[in-house]
């Protein structure tokens, strides 16, 4: 695998204001990206904040945000990812989009819906994981609450990954859980984990401290930022995953299991 250049945006999200969020992200990217990057990662529901107002804010798969993502991926010649509210038929999804610079895309619908916030009463849960490749890296992408469920995220041979991406609107009052679970997922799966959160208060006066981070397969911190908006580019090392798995071949001793959806 080649080294992978990652740009993360720990952003303040304007509550339920798609146009203002897209304008802000566009501005931050234009002023902050000064070198070629392979992947831009945005938070969960990056156009609206974590809202249950799906009926008013949901977009179709050919809506303005998808068009913006396609344009932005082409402009920076990289993949861009993050989750948005999508409507298909009569159903709403908290959907992560994986947009390539050629306009092709894939998606992941959040599997574990946050019942404490009534997300399960508004959105439809996904049933399939998303695995993609980028510059030789096998990547799995999930959304926020999924982080709490290690069985769903377990690195297994038939769907092995080298990098786990978590996009989130994770509140500060449970930040200690966030900071514990991210390195746990990295160490147990012997992969990099990049987790991108938002900052600031949302429309429900819930504060988000960010704490966006990248952890390597040994549990070491590559990147960490708290309490302020940040756009930052860093590299993850191509041979680090294989080096750890060769020196400490723990994954081959993992238990077999199956998930019933």
Mind telling me the catalytic residues? 44, 110, 144
What span, in angstroms and rounded, lies between the C-alpha atoms of 233 and 33? 8
Helix (H) or strand (E) holding 124: none
Q: What are 87's strand-pairing partners? A: 92
Q: Are 222 and 215 in contact (CB under 8 A)?
A: yes
Q: 203: closest CA among 85, 117, 95?
A: 117
Sequence-distant (6+) residues with CB within 8 A of 90 are none
What span, in angstroms and rounded, lies between the C-alpha atoms of 187 and 244? 10
Q: What are 134's strand-pairing partners? A: 137
What span, in angstroms and rounded, lies between the C-alpha atoms of 56 and 242? 46
DSSP assigned state of 60: -
- Phi/psi for 155 (5° steps) reads -80, 105
Measure the CA angle with vertex 207, ends 85 and 139; round to 5°.
50
């Amino acid at each position: 695998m080649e080294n992978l250049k990652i740009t993360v945006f720990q952003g303040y999200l304007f509550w339920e204001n798609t146009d203002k969020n897209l304008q802000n992200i566009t501005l931050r990217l234009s002023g902050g990206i000064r070198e070629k990057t392979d992947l831009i990662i945005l938070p969960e529901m990056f156009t609206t904040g974590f809202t249950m107002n799906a009926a008013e804010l949901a977009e179709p798969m050919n809506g303005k945000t998808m068009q913006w993502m396609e344009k932005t991926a082409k402009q920076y010649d990289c993949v861009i990812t993050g989750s948005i509210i999508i409507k298909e038929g009569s159903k709403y999804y908290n959907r992560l989009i994986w947009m390539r610079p050629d306009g092709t895309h894939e998606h992941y619908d959040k599997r574990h819906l946050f019942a404490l916030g009534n997300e399960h009463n508004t959105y439809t849960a996904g049933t399939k994981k998303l695995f993609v490749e980028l510059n030789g890296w096998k990547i799995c992408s999930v959304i926020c609450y999924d982080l709490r469920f290690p069985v769903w995220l377990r690195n297994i041979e038939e769907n092995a990954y080298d990098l786990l991406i978590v996009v989130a609107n994770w509140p500060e009052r449970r930040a200690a859980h966030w900071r514990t679970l991210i390195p746990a997922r990295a160490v147990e799966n012997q992969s990099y984990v990049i987790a991108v959160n938002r900052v600031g208060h949302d429309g429900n006066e819930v504060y988000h401290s960010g704490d966006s981070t990248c952890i390597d397969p040994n549990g070491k911190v590559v990147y960490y930022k708290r309490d302020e908006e940040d756009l930052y580019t860093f590299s993850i090392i191509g041979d680090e995953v294989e080096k750890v798995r060769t020196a400490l071949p723990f994954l081959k001793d993992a238990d077999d299991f199956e998930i019933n959806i």
